[in-house]
Amino acid sequence: MSETVTAPPTTPAPRGPREGWPHFVLDPAPTAELSEAIAVLWADVTNAGGAVGFVPTVTPEEVRPALRQHLVGMAEGTTRLLIGANDRGQPVATAFLRRNTHRLMRHWLWLSTVMVHPDWQGRGAGRELMAAAASAARAIDPEVTGLRLTCRGGLGLERFYTSCGYQEVGRVPDAIRVGENEFRDDVTLWLPLG
């Protein structure tokens, strides 16, 4: 069952409904069409320089194995999908929320594959996605105390996430190889939900 997720009043308010502006849905029906649209979105974001597990240039076919891992987690009940859909129902933003399987860490969730289509970047959709992800985490389990994510350093993503309330809590230098002799830090960020 899918549900619409809105930002809590303590986060920056959405710009309000307007034609084409994304609305956020937790657990949309996992159809073949949605899967294909997410694969295309993932390739578009990567090819525009987005740091979502690949380096340009990729095709939807190349990202499908990584997407399948998320879909398997959804089928197993360990992963939840949040999409920001335009007025035609097409995803223009996504985030996956994953439960921890370790018995001592079930009180927080992983947030991963956070993407906003390049055409929607710089207009507030990313902030709304992050607020909707926090709301979704609370809806999934009111006992969840935080969200944890990692990002590729050197692209300004840390500034974006900290402006959304996340705190940098760890950094592994040169942990991500993006090219021949080209490395980026793996940055861990935390959003307390208490």
- Looking at residue 16, its pLDDT comes to 42
Per-residue pLDDT reduced to its tens digit, 30-60 = 999 999 999 999 999 999 999 999 999 999 9
**CATH says 3-7+19-144 is which class?**
alpha beta
Per-residue pLDDT reduced to its tens digit, 52-88 = 999 999 999 999 999 999 999 999 999 999 999 998 8
Cis amide bond preceding 57, omega within 30: yes
Counting residues of the chain whose pLDDT is more than 90, the rounded percentage is: 86
Task: Delimit the domains of the chain by residue range.
Answer: 3-7+19-144
Which residues pair with residue 191 across a beta bridge?
Answer: 147
Per-residue pLDDT reduced to its tens digit, 163-185 = 999 999 999 999 999 999 999 99
**What is the distance between the alpha carbons of residues 163 and 140, in angstroms, rounded to a whole number?**
24
For residues 8 and 173, the model is more confident at: 173
Taking alpha carbons only, the member of 2, 4, 1, 9 closest to residue 131 is 9
